[in-house]
Chains A and B, each alone.
Chain A
């Protein structure tokens, strides 16, 4: 039950999943999308912080692990960032992910 604007931004390829578990801007974002993504990233960070404390890991590690999953879960046509930093469009094949992802 994602926010429709968030869903639209994902499916239109304006934003994509980054390896570090946060959303990134594929193209220069409009103020609305920028605020939307920042808001979601803040909420993700709060969640990662909470989960990091529960799992005695760092926020970054938990975020990174989530990133691996999130990139795997991207739907066809959505964007994701490769470890090298380029934005790929997910297709039917396996996404290019960080070697450390399980």
Chain B
């Protein structure tokens, strides 16, 4: 059988998840609405 020797030191899985780009597209319309609605603070 396959002996998978677990590495003696802990397996470190770094998983960087940083998602941004598409959110901006999604929110663009709502942002425009907000800026027009509350013009006095923009």
Instruction: Please determine if A and B sit in direct contact within the complex, based on CB atoms under 8 angstroms apart.
Output: yes
| Interface residue count on the B side (C-beta < 8 Å) | 18
| CB atoms of A57 and B34 under 8 A apart | no
B interface: dominant SS: helix
| Interface residue count on the A side (C-beta < 8 Å) | 24
| CB atoms of A61 and B41 under 8 A apart | no
A14 close to chain B: CB less than 8 A: no
| CB atoms of A61 and B24 under 8 A apart | yes
B30 neighbours in A (Cβ, 8 Å): 51, 54-55, 62, 65
Residues on A close to B: CB < 8 A?
1-3, 40, 43-44, 47-48, 51, 54-55, 57, 61-62, 64-66, 68-70, 73, 100-102
Residues on B close to A: CB < 8 A?
20-21, 23-28, 30-32, 34-35, 38-42
